[in-house]
Structure 1
Amino acid sequence: MFADCFNTHAQELHERIKANHKIYIPEGKGPFPVVIAFPGCSGVSLNGQETDAGRPGDEADRLFRRHYSRMAIRLQEASYMVLLVDYLTSESISNTCGWEIHPKRVGEYVSDAISFVRTIPNSDLTRINVIGWSHGGEGVLAWLDKLEQEARGVKSAIAVYPGCSSIKPWKTSLPVLMILGEADDIALPDICNTLVQSLPNKTNVFVRSYPNARHGFDLTEGPTVLPVGKNLNIGRNQKAGDNAWNEIFNFLENN
């Protein structure tokens, strides 16, 4: 009975990913290394103007929803095949900044997306990487938390300004890059730093922190400071964003 329920649940996630994703294929001849990407709590625009805006009048939603597709294109131009997963639409939710979708649930999407990518032609199944921003980054860490053994073919995981409040120390030795903004007042870096300090010795985590970097500091448009309510702010920092992307590419190339 338990196995039947588990298989049904896995199939449900698989179908939701199948219906709510976009694949970015590089030019040239494959197979291509893969990056599976998970957006933050505002979701992602996969259909241009139809889904760019997010919540009416919410400039942060608009900035973030456009951001992840642009980052997917950046990875594609660097010869990575990208599977961008729209887990919010899968759950019929337009925004999960109030944790309408728990990071553990996002972690389930990570696990199933790794299985799903094995069905995509020209994907290099020996070089799969996972990246998540903000709420998606916390979902990636939640996936690590539940990982009981090394995931076949997965080479690395990256969490960009993730929340860490729901995450327990993981045990896998999979290389992990955690990118933090020291001025982030939404995903507090101190919580992530405390988590990293509590990890077992066999874990393999690299932390990069950037001064004067707010939540969303790698945005390619928008102001340097944008209030989002409750005395919280996001904001672009081009220098920190450029440095973070150099770190991401170096990390992907070396793992």
Structure 2
Amino acid sequence: MSFPSVTVGASQAGPEVSGWVSRPAGDGPFPAIILAHSCAGTGRHTDTWAKLLVSWGYLVLAPDSFNPRGTKAVCTTPNVVTPNMRVADIAGALDYLATRPDVMKGKVGIIGHSHGGSTVIRSAQKSFDLASRGLAVGVAYYPGCNPQFDGGIDIPVLLLAGDKDDWTLADRCRKLVSSLAHGDLVEAVYYPEAYHSFDVKAADRTVPSAPGKRHHLAYDTVAAPDAEARTRAFLTKYLR
């Protein structure tokens, strides 16, 4: 399936967005989750999370923000597609979900990881007013926080970060949260021993982000299940 990207605020519409929907059995309507992929694009991690969310009773829309813009991944070229650009895709996703009779009106959340987590933070900004399109809640896994530009969060956000993350630094998120006008909207959890991608069940590895820069990625047996439980509870609180 596909839907238009939509200009909102300072985020200009991109090309038509492709994506796929997974949903529980039955007629619904269901609360829905927009699943924002990482800098690696859609793949096994997206599929794993979609299946988990469907098992919790959510309809899941996983938009692909990269292929329509002519790239498969942006881990080493982060400015090719930015979280700010992806907000237009999220606006389009919300408009698309609003047309579906199997989606509960006003009961839509967004979950994102890394680049997708940054997209969650950006989508939560008051300047984009995605709440008026039905966005009720966000969950950001190890996002890149930008205290200079992301201070206008106006929907509830669960922020999950690793203190040993050397790619998207937890201290930048701490600085952001401490500067928020409505800090009560953000529940931030920092895992002392967790690295980037702490919920991805894969062998420890290092990956590049730019020439001369490499980052450690590792699954964390403490952080991953705790974050999953917190995510489920947070979504239940606001979407059920």
Same fold (TM over 0.5): yes
Cα RMSD between the aligned structures? 2.4
Higher helix share: 1
| Kept after mapping to 2: 8 A contact 1:172/1:203 | no
How far off its partner does 1:6 sit?
5.5
Q: Distance in 2 between matches of 1:105 and 1:204?
A: 24
| Kept after mapping to 2: 8 A contact 1:171/1:202 | no
2:34 is matched with which residue? Answer: 36
Q: Distance in 2 between matches of 1:181 and 1:240?
A: 8
1:154 equivalenced with 2:155 (yes/no): no
**Matched positions, count:** 225
1:227 equivalenced with 2:225 (yes/no): no
Which of the residues 189, 194, 210 maps onto 1:208?
189
Q: Distance in 1 between matches of 2:97 and 2:148?
A: 25
Name structure 2 gaps, 5 residues minimum. 1-5
| Kept after mapping to 1: 8 A contact 2:7/2:13 | no
* Inter-CA distance 202–159: structure 2 relative to 1 (3 Å threshold): closer
* Inter-CA distance 27–202: structure 2 relative to 1 (3 Å threshold): same
| Kept after mapping to 2: 8 A contact 1:150/1:172 | no
Q: Could you report, residue by residue, the CA deviation over 1:25-60 in whole angstroms, capped at 9, with x for unpaired residues?
A: 102330000001110100013xxxxxxxxxxxxxxx
* Inter-CA distance 170–241: structure 2 relative to 1 (3 Å threshold): same
Q: Could you report, residue by residue, the CA deviation over 1:157-184 in whole angstroms, capped at 9, with x for unpaired residues?
A: 1111011137624435311111101111
| Kept after mapping to 2: 8 A contact 1:107/1:141 | no
Which of the residues 41, 44, 55 maps onto 1:77?
55
1:251 equivalenced with 2:230 (yes/no): no
* Inter-CA distance 79–148: structure 2 relative to 1 (3 Å threshold): closer
How many percent identity over aligned positions?
28
1:104 is matched with which residue? Answer: 84
Secondary structure of the residue aligned to 2:194 is: coil
Which of the residues 180, 183, 186 maps onto 2:164?
183
Q: Distance in 2 between matches of 1:149 and 1:109?
A: 11
| Kept after mapping to 1: 8 A contact 2:36/2:62 | yes
Q: Distance in 2 between matches of 1:32 and 1:11?
A: 30
Which of the residues 199, 219, 224 maps onto 1:236?
219
How far off its partner does 1:203 sit?
5.2
Secondary structure of the residue aligned to 1:93 is: coil
* Inter-CA distance 70–167: structure 2 relative to 1 (3 Å threshold): farther
Higher strand share: 2
Q: Distance in 1 between matches of 2:7 and 2:33?
A: 26
Q: Which amino acid aligns with 1:226?
A: R
How far off its partner does 1:200 sit?
0.2
Name structure 1 gaps, 5 residues minimum. 46-65
2:119 is matched with which residue? Answer: 139
How far off its partner does 1:119 sit?
2.2
1:50 is matched with which residue? Answer: none
| Kept after mapping to 2: 8 A contact 1:128/1:155 | yes
> What is the TM-score of this pair, normalised by structure 2?
0.85
How far off its partner does 1:210 sit?
1.2
Q: Distance in 2 between matches of 1:12 and 1:110?
A: 10
